């Protein structure tokens, strides 16, 4: 996706369950990191992937730095 002048991409942490047919169980929650221009763009990117999206969190500042330092940080760009 090309970034137009004036647009700024942000990093979001998406909490999700892999099976939309099951009741969400906290222990089964997974997460992924997505760089996109908006939460709407993240939702559009994930649409049709059969995931139960629990929460999409914008990461900034110290929280973003903490997540980036994790060995599990892998960024998907939209």
Averaged over 29-54, what is the pLDDT? Answer: 96
Q: Find all residues with CB under 8 Å of 71, minimum gap 6, and list them.
A: none
Q: Pull the structure tokens for residue 14.
A: 């998406």
Is the per-residue pLDDT at 1 higher than 50? no
Element (H, E) at 56: strand 52-59
Please check whether residue 55 is in contact with residue 15, taking contact to mean a CB–CB distance below 8 angstroms. yes
d(CA 65, CA 54): 23
Element (H, E) at 45: helix 39-46
Model's pTM, two decimal places? Answer: 0.84
* Percent of the chain residues past pLDDT 70, beyond the cut: 91
């Amino acid at each position: 996706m090309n970034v137009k002048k004036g647009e700024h991409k942000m990093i979001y942490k998406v909490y999700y369950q892999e099976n939309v047919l099951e009741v969400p169980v906290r222990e089964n929650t997974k997460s992924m990191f997505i760089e996109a221009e908006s939460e709407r763009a993240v939702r559009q990117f994930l649409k049709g992937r059969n995931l139960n999206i629990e929460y999409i969190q914008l990461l900034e500042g110290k929280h973003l730095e903490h997540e980036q330092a994790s060995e599990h940080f892998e960024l998907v760009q939209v």
